[in-house]
Amino acid sequence: MNSIERVTKALKHQEADHVPVYPLINSISRNYLGINYAEWTKDPHKCAQAIIKATEECDVDVICTLVDLSIEAADWGMEMDYPEDKAASPSIEAFVKNAEEYDKIGVIDPYQGERMSKYIQLTEELVTAKGKEKPIVAFVFGPLGILSMLRSLQGMLMDTFSAKAQIHKALENITETLMRFTDALMDTGCHAIMFDTLYASKTIMSPKMWCELEGPYIKRLADHVHERGCMVMIHNCGQGIYFKEQIEYMKPEAISTLHIPADCKTTEEMKEKYGNQTTIIGMINPGDLMTYTEEQLREECRREIDLLAKDGGFILATGCEFPANMTDEYAKIIVDEAKSYGRYNQR
């Protein structure tokens, strides 16, 4: 059974040969080519080759195209820093400095933007090289996350009291751009679009506020992806993620999560409540990898497999990106546990 077959079983809530697995190892992939973070970020060919090499060496079941969260914002004009040892990030606090500047956020062409066009290239190269054996999941920052990066979170939240119309106009333009961006990504042949819905959790805002600000826009995007015959996935590593609301708006085939949902008290309750509605991806805490012994990591993998693997609908993964400055040793241990302890014929 290859990775596509294995993941397809999980998404259909069926048991495969073993639990599918993918620690999110993109950032450490640069080590396989001996290049720094900036070079890995800026060169789509080297980035693709690094991810392919890491996928082969660690034998993960899914390729996610995550590079960093600034790709879309950069193409609206946000000034960027590209450090050699960590992910790219904005070099200024805000591109939109006040509520009068929201009209700087127009509809843009992803093929003309430096970073989005390279990201399309990256996705196409990964699909060409590995798309027949591994699911390729294109990672896209959600509209509200992009807006908060362009305006700053504090500025955006303050503007919800006095400039709501301008916020919604900007979100409209961002969403139209993302419609075009996801079209370009789907044209490469990727299997899924994974939207990062950063603020759909108790960490930042109430479910009512999220539904009002991002709900209609993310629904339009999810509906569009589904209409094109592509899968929708969600990534959200916030505390108290809003499963219920996001499932209602997006009907995702899978949710990548670090924490249990806001309306659940335990992992068991999450599995019982949502295990037949979507596939759960996670929930190994990347921060814990920095302190775990090998045995502690194996115990955590086994605990999650015991709680979530029954009847499929589960992919063992880190709940967010694998620590960028670690080696691949612990990624390989996670894969080993999925292949050995996670075998369905011996459970």
pLDDT tens, residue by residue, 64-104: 999 999 999 999 999 999 999 999 999 888 899 999 999 99
**21 — pLDDT class (breaks 50, 70, 90):** very high
| pLDDT at site 222 | 98
Closest listed residue to residue 20, CA positions, set 65, 61, 59, 51: 61
What is the arithmetic mean of pLDDT over 27-54? 97
Closest listed residue to residue 250, CA positions, set 282, 285, 210: 210
Strands of 254-257's sheet, edge to edge?
Answer: 63-64, 136-141, 192-196, 231-236, 254-257, 279-284, 314-318
84-93: burial string, b at 16+ Cβ within 10 Å, e else = eeebbebeee
pLDDT tens, residue by residue, 290-321: 999 999 999 999 999 999 999 999 999 999 99
133-171: burial string, b at 16+ Cβ within 10 Å, e else = ebbbbbbbbbbbbbbbbbbbbebbbebeeebeebbeebb
283 preceded by a cis bond (ω within 30 of 0) = yes
3-state secondary structure of 157: helix
Is the pLDDT score of 279 beyond 90?
A: yes
Percent of the chain with pLDDT over 90: 97
Closest listed residue to residue 231, CA positions, set 255, 263, 261: 255
pTM of the model: 0.97
What is the arithmetic mean of pLDDT over 269-278? 97
Q: C-alpha angle 137/335/188, rounded to 5°?
A: 15
Domain housing 68: 3-346
198/143 Cα distance (integer angstroms): 10
CATH number reported for the structural domain that contains residue 159 in this entry: 3.20.20.210
| pLDDT at site 345 | 87
Beta strands 80-81; 63-64: pairing state: unpaired
What is the arithmetic mean of pLDDT over 271-282? 97
Positive or negative torsion for Cα 191, 2, 328, 42? negative
Q: How many domains does the chain have?
A: 1
Is the pLDDT score of 347 beyond 80?
A: no
